[in-house]
Chain A
């Protein structure tokens, strides 16, 4: 059995990479991918703690499935928005997109 600390370090690293991606990437599609990384980190955590706290049960895995489902839906929406933005601005550089303000 993999010790829980290892998994935590792994998921923590994965999450931080996701955060870095969201903050530092200019390409909107890459930002969306970075968000996927963060979601995956969370899903792994859910599975790991689920087996640790409720051994032999599937609570954590059900949650992980939920997360994957929602991630898929979110990605679908996100890509649609990116497409619309590209049509409008001819660019998917997030520096060019400052629509969400006063």
Chain B
């Protein structure tokens, strides 16, 4: 298994190859870089398969000892500190079941999404750059997954952030996209500052960034509990930023500005998974402090319900999915917070597949709507411009439906098992409020997903209405005859094939965690001794019922004529508006930035300009000039003036050396 380091190194090599060599290749660079990236990520997937089979062969050992860790010490990079408090930084990698699991998810999804992107991004004039950054992105995420050293993890963590910035703002010529990229970068940075301070705090106490030593110090009580709590909360801030937890969730829906393959990768396996993975990886630090665990639970619970309610009213198909992602991440964080370690990470595992599938399906829909709505001025992402697409796009429809059922938690699809595990975990931890919130969120999740499905794939074809009566605001749009005769069509096979392939784990990924039947996941990914899981029929029934109720309500409201929802939104206009405007969080942050941040900035600018600049910097020059003009008079050029100064100086030195004037007077006497 000592070749696991190849997994991140292959894609980073592909990145280097793309930007250093293929870049010079003119028109061929596009095909070359796409192939290189695909090959490298495929290679990383093969590495995963080899590591996985190796680890499975030693499953007996793994089952008996609590989590077998295989750790690789890399070559030392640098040394900091003064003896005897030296710290030698060496990139340390870990291969345990948690990282193997993530290794599989990331490489599998990245490969299929890359493949999908070869079709989706066709014709883009920065095609090669897209694949280069994707390779770096995958490499960074694999680095986060494998690193067993906080500093190395932080480096990769920031690389993930950088790549997401580059990808979200990929079409940066549109201002909104550039703004979204900036927002994602800055918002996650807020959390990362906390992460970094937390790491610094731990380093101060332990003198090492090595996770193993840090966890040992935390568990043995070598660090006082208050520090562990504070460091835990600060590190969790980083996870909140990356995983879009309330109140740092605002960047995630805007991140939809990127190309859809980016959204699929960012919101399933990489960026947002990093936060949950961090909580899972650094669990000993969080677990040691009930306060931290309480905060994690609270944040997760609020996020789960909060984002689900926003998703109810959104019109943009990708935004619905984005809020759904936030909500599901809240689910995972909540599960980790109540102590259901396995359940939280299991949900991370299954969610990655069906959410990637949903995003790719949404991308497929948008891809076919774009030519249809071209020139009408209507948004191809708006689900109210779609409808009836199940006939034109059968593959997309069926895969999207399966993924939605999985997300809604309908047995026996993947989402059911992980969601059930979380419910059981919350129940066993006696966390009633999170349990009720989780059930209600499950209901909302099913509702908004089927609202989306009914509006996109069922009902009247509203895009026909859209094309038949073009917006009367721009009459010239009728001239664009080419767009108007277009019909939605199924996507090319490069895009349809990944949909079908990801469908397999979206259905079956949950089957490795069926309580009492196949407990491979619970045996391997766990914290402390293995917990005997048993199915709780009441909770499973309640979860399924919540899902079915949501689907039923959506059927009633959206499959039958679309007057139902309008009635509700009109009877509660304030509620509807609040939800539609995402609880005005963006406006609130904008207000804070405008009135607080900019006010502080203006004060700082005043201090800088009026005091530092006008008073101090500007005063330096004239002062020195004046002093120089005066001192210059002393250099007359006459020899005897200099000689006079010389003699006075000699006499002064003589006085000082002989011990001062009084002594000399006595000596002379």
Answer yes or no: B585 CB below 8 A from chain A CBs: no
Answer yes or no: A94 CB below 8 A from chain B CBs: yes
Q: Tell me which residues across on chain B come within 8 A of A23, comparing CB atoms.
A: 640, 643-644
| Nearest CB of chain B from residue A27's CB, rounded to whole Å | 12
Evaluate contact between B636 and A98: CB separation under 8 angstroms. Answer: yes
| Nearest CB of chain B from residue A86's CB, rounded to whole Å | 15
Closest to A95 in B: B638
Taking a contact as CB atoms closer than 8 A, the residue among A22, A95, A97, A101 that contacts B635 in the complex is: A101
Answer yes or no: B589 CB below 8 A from chain A CBs: no
Q: Tell me which residues across on chain B come within 8 A of A22, comparing CB atoms.
A: 640, 643
Evaluate contact between A100 and B637: CB separation under 8 angstroms. Answer: yes
Interface size on A, as a range, is 10 to 19
Answer yes or no: B639 CB below 8 A from chain A CBs: yes
Answer yes or no: A41 CB below 8 A from chain B CBs: no
Evaluate contact between A100 and B647: CB separation under 8 angstroms. Answer: no
Q: Tell me which residues across on chain A come within 8 A of B639, comparing CB atoms.
A: 31, 94, 97, 100
Q: Tell me which residues across on chain A come within 8 A of B636, comparing CB atoms.
A: 98, 101
Closest to A100 in B: B637
A15 CA to B151 CA, complexed, in Å: 73
Q: Tell me which residues across on chain A come within 8 A of B640, comparing CB atoms.
A: 22-24, 31, 94
Answer yes or no: B642 CB below 8 A from chain A CBs: yes
Residues 325 to 341 of chain B near chain A (Cβ within 8 Å): none
Q: Tell me which residues across on chain A come within 8 A of B647, comparing CB atoms.
A: 19
Closest to B642 in A: A100
Evaluate contact between A98 and B638: CB separation under 8 angstroms. Answer: yes
A22 CA to B636 CA, complexed, in Å: 16
Evaluate contact between B637 and A99: CB separation under 8 angstroms. Answer: yes
Residues 33 to 74 of chain A near chain B (Cβ within 8 Å): none
Q: Tell me which residues across on chain B come within 8 A of A100, comparing CB atoms.
A: 635, 637-639, 642
Q: Tell me which residues across on chain B come within 8 A of A19, comparing CB atoms.
A: 647
Residues 617 to 654 of chain B near chain A (Cβ within 8 Å): 632, 635-640, 642-644, 647
Closest to B643 in A: A22
A63 CA to B638 CA, complexed, in Å: 31
A22 CA to B639 CA, complexed, in Å: 9
Q: Tell me which residues across on chain A come within 8 A of B632, comparing CB atoms.
A: 102
Closest to A99 in B: B637
Q: Tell me which residues across on chain B come within 8 A of A98, comparing CB atoms.
A: 636-638
Closest to A101 in B: B637
Q: Tell me which residues across on chain B come within 8 A of A97, comparing CB atoms.
A: 637-639
Q: Tell me which residues across on chain A come within 8 A of B638, comparing CB atoms.
A: 94-95, 97-98, 100
Q: Tell me which residues across on chain B come within 8 A of A101, comparing CB atoms.
A: 635-637
| Nearest CB of chain B from residue A70's CB, rounded to whole Å | 17
A102 CA to B636 CA, complexed, in Å: 8
Closest to A24 in B: B640
Residues 66 to 102 of chain A near chain B (Cβ within 8 Å): 94-95, 97-102
| Nearest CB of chain B from residue A26's CB, rounded to whole Å | 9
A94 CA to B638 CA, complexed, in Å: 7
A100 CA to B636 CA, complexed, in Å: 8
A48 CA to B371 CA, complexed, in Å: 112
Q: Tell me which residues across on chain B come within 8 A of A31, comparing CB atoms.
A: 639-640
A99 CA to B636 CA, complexed, in Å: 9
A95 CA to B638 CA, complexed, in Å: 7
Q: Tell me which residues across on chain A come within 8 A of B635, comparing CB atoms.
A: 100-102
A99 CA to B638 CA, complexed, in Å: 8
Closest to A98 in B: B637
| Nearest CB of chain A from residue B73's CB, rounded to whole Å | 65
A40 CA to B103 CA, complexed, in Å: 92
A89 CA to B636 CA, complexed, in Å: 18
A99 CA to B642 CA, complexed, in Å: 12
| Nearest CB of chain B from residue A24's CB, rounded to whole Å | 8
| Nearest CB of chain A from residue B640's CB, rounded to whole Å | 5
A100 CA to B637 CA, complexed, in Å: 4
Q: Tell me which residues across on chain A come within 8 A of B642, comparing CB atoms.
A: 100
Closest to A94 in B: B639
A99 CA to B637 CA, complexed, in Å: 6
Q: Tell me which residues across on chain B come within 8 A of A102, comparing CB atoms.
A: 632, 635
| Nearest CB of chain A from residue B631's CB, rounded to whole Å | 10
Interface membership of chain A positions 5-26, coded 1 if the CB is closer than 8 angstroms to chain B and 0 otherwise: 0000000000000010011100
Q: Which of B632, B636, B640, B642 has the most CB of A within 10 A?
A: B640
A47 CA to B450 CA, complexed, in Å: 114
Closest to A25 in B: B640
| Nearest CB of chain A from residue B646's CB, rounded to whole Å | 9
| Nearest CB of chain B from residue A99's CB, rounded to whole Å | 6
Closest to B628 in A: A102
Q: Tell me which residues across on chain A come within 8 A of B643, comparing CB atoms.
A: 22-23
Q: Tell me which residues across on chain A come within 8 A of B644, comparing CB atoms.
A: 23
Q: Which of B636, B642, B643 has the most CB of A within 10 A?
A: B643
Closest to B646 in A: A22
A56 CA to B470 CA, complexed, in Å: 123
| Nearest CB of chain B from residue A94's CB, rounded to whole Å | 5
A24 CA to B639 CA, complexed, in Å: 11
A24 CA to B644 CA, complexed, in Å: 10
A19 CA to B632 CA, complexed, in Å: 25
A100 CA to B645 CA, complexed, in Å: 14
| Nearest CB of chain A from residue B87's CB, rounded to whole Å | 55
A31 CA to B637 CA, complexed, in Å: 16
A17 CA to B446 CA, complexed, in Å: 112
Q: Which of B632, B635, B636, B639 has the most CB of A within 10 A?
A: B639
Q: Tell me which residues across on chain B come within 8 A of A95, comparing CB atoms.
A: 638
| Nearest CB of chain B from residue A68's CB, rounded to whole Å | 21
Closest to B639 in A: A94
A95 CA to B647 CA, complexed, in Å: 19
Q: Tell me which residues across on chain B come within 8 A of A24, comparing CB atoms.
A: 640
| Nearest CB of chain A from residue B637's CB, rounded to whole Å | 3
| Nearest CB of chain A from residue B256's CB, rounded to whole Å | 69
Q: Which 10 residue pairs spanning A and B have beta carbons closest together? A: A98-B637, A101-B637, A101-B635, A100-B637, A22-B643, A23-B640, A94-B639, A102-B635, A98-B638, A102-B632
Listed by A's residue number, 10 A-B pairs whose Cβ atoms lie within 8 Å are A22-B643, A24-B640, A94-B639, A97-B637, A97-B639, A98-B638, A99-B637, A100-B639, A101-B635, A102-B635
B interface residues, Cβ below 8 angstroms from A: 632, 635-640, 642-644, 647
* Given A23-B644, A100-B635, A100-B639; 18 other pairs, CB 8 A cutoff: A22-B640, A24-B640, A31-B639, A31-B640, A94-B638, A95-B638, A97-B637, A97-B638, A97-B639, A98-B636, A98-B637, A99-B637, A100-B637, A100-B642, A101-B636, A101-B637, A102-B632, A102-B635
